[in-house]
Amino acid sequence: MKKIINLLLKKKNQKGSTFIETVLYIAIFSILLVIFLQMFTAIIDIQLESEAKSSVLQDGRFILERLAYDIRRAESVNIPSAPGEQNTTLQLVINGENFTYNLSGGNLILNNTLGADNLNSSETIVSSINFTRLGGTTDKNTIKISLNLTSKTQKRSGPQEEIIETTIGLR
């Protein structure tokens, strides 16, 4: 009986782990590592998608608000000049000054006496812009605006693209 108790006590006092215990620890650690890695990549994907969508929506909203502001206070629309005419350039006269909107190198540019300004941010590309004059030749004209806005931020499924269309009339 004494021998059995001494044998049990010796086993309890031994330090270290067996090979099977080590393999189990490594397996559990590997599983946890894979789970955390998948969670991390999902978080990064969601962040990229959010950035791409946000940049496109913010730039789209800003461009449309700026165009609406300028068109509503315009005295006249020089380009497009005739009803039904489509053009990639919009030229307005505001307080006797020409405001020209056109596409250059993926940017929507506003040219006036103060200089040239990009209306989109560095995070987006503007393409396929089209201005169509819908109204008559009187001061009550309406302009249909159509443009394609693409995010430079790349997500797994590709860049975020939005086609933005609206109609704005002179007051």
Return the domain boundaries, the chain: 44-169
Extract the tokens encoding 45: 């994907």
Q: Express each pLDDT in 103-128 by its tens digit.
A: 999 999 999 988 999 999 999 999 88
Q: What is the predicted pLDDT for the residue at 141?
A: 72
Q: Among 113, 170, 121, which Cα is nearest to 149's?
A: 121
Extract the tokens encoding 128: 């396929």
Residues 6 or more apart from 99 whose CB is under 8 A from it? 70, 74, 91, 92, 93, 110, 111, 112
Confidence of residue 10 (pLDDT cuts 50, 70, 90): low
Task: Using the predicted structure, report yes or no on whether residue 12 has a pLDDT greater than 80.
Answer: no
Q: How many CA atoms lie within 13 A of 53 on its CB side?
A: 7
Extract the tokens encoding 89: 């350039």
Q: How many CA atoms lie within 13 A of 33 on its CB side?
A: 6
Mean pLDDT computed over every residue of the chain: 86
